[in-house]
Amino acid sequence: MTVVLFRVDERLIHGQVVVAWGRRLETESLVVVSDELAGSASDQEIYRTGLPSGLEAEFWSEAMAATRLPEAMDSDARILVLTPDLGTMWRLAVAGVPIHEVNVGGLHAASGREAVLPYVYLDPDDRQRVRDFEAAGVRVTAQDVPGGARVRLERAL
């Protein structure tokens, strides 16, 4: 698999990801990394209902992703990796998944979070994760849609 995008979006699979990002990047498969969803076949089926023909979704636990992504990243299939939060993406990086850039697309208003951009709200742990990624040489950008402005998230803090 060739990972065309590592994206943090708490809504995971939705129209913006499928239509805007999926089509633009010619994505063949979505890999959702979530321990919760990996263990729920019924929730997985709900997420799959809106997928167009030709686009597949797999739901991996963090442990499975940490093992399978590094081994599979050189194949020809074009995949988009989705996590619901920065913490999950960070744990993948720490586990050895070779992530060079993270796209943050949707972390919305919630208790303890403050607006950084109209579609990105971060709590103190999220802010630290951004700094951790940058210190490790991983760029963290925010961009809601492919045609939108790409913002270096560290600079927006």
Residue 3: strand, helix, or coil: strand
Identify the pLDDT of residue 76: 82
Calpha distance 138→99 (Å, rounded): 7
Domain ranges of the chain: 2-156
- Measured over the CA atoms of residue 6, residue 9, residue 10 and residue 12, the dihedral's sign is negative
Please name which of 45, 47, 40 lies closest in space to residue 9, comparing C-alpha atoms.
47
pLDDT digits (tens, 9 = 90+) for 55-88: 999 999 999 999 999 877 877 889 999 999 999 9
* Run of H or E residues at 117: strand 114-117
Taking the model in full, what pTM does it have?
0.94
Calpha distance 138→90 (Å, rounded): 10
Alpha-carbon 118 to chain mean position:
18
Identify the pLDDT of residue 96: 93
| DSSP character at residue 137 | T
Compute the half-sphere exposure of residue 117: CA atoms within 13 Å on the CB side of its CA. Answer: 20
Which fold does the domain 2-156 belong to in CATH? Fructose Permease (3.40.35)
Low-confidence ranges of the chain (pLDDT < 50): none
